[in-house]
């Protein structure tokens, strides 16, 4: 299900507006940790309705579930807020 969600993410070109791990577009928010911060009901509402800025993609229920699985998997992999990172003198970062 996670791979299906990643495929939908890529096909819908979500990265053009949204970031993952701080990389991507800047029109929408970084979604790396959105699953924990907002929850699946909040994300589903956006995916079903769109917003004034985000288009409605007319996704099927199974596609929304796949995107939720993908976002949950991303969320579990770490934190993405670069404002909380410590930049070391050798160019590496610490969370």
For residues 91 and 81, give the distance between their C-alpha atoms in angstroms, rounded to a whole number.
Answer: 17
CATH number of the domain where residue 24 is located: 1.10.760.10
For residues 73 and 8, give the distance between their C-alpha atoms in angstroms, rounded to a whole number.
Answer: 14
Q: How many distinct structural domains can be found in the chain?
A: 1
One digit per residue, the tens of pLDDT, for the chain of length 95 reads 999 999 999 999 999 999 998 889 999 999 999 999 999 999 999 999 989 999 999 999 999 999 999 999 999 987 766 667 777 888 777 76
Question: Between the CA atoms of 76, 78, 80 and 82, what dihedral angle is there, to the nearest 10 degrees?
Answer: 160
Domain containing 10 equals 2-94
pTM for the structure as a whole: 0.81
**Minimal CA–CA distance to 67: which of 30, 14, 22, 26?**
14
């Amino acid at each position: 299900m996670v791979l299906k969600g990643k495929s939908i993410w890529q096909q819908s070109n979500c990265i053009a507006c949204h970031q993952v791990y701080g990389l991507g577009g800047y029109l929408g928010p970084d979604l790396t940790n959105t699953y924990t911060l907002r929850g699946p009901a909040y994300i589903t509402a956006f995916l079903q309705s769109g917003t004034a800025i985000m288009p409605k993609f007319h996704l099927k229920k199974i596609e929304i579930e796949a995107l939720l699985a993908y976002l949950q998997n991303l969320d579990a992999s770490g934190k993405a807020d670069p404002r909380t990172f410590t930049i070391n003198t050798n160019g590496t970062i610490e969370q």
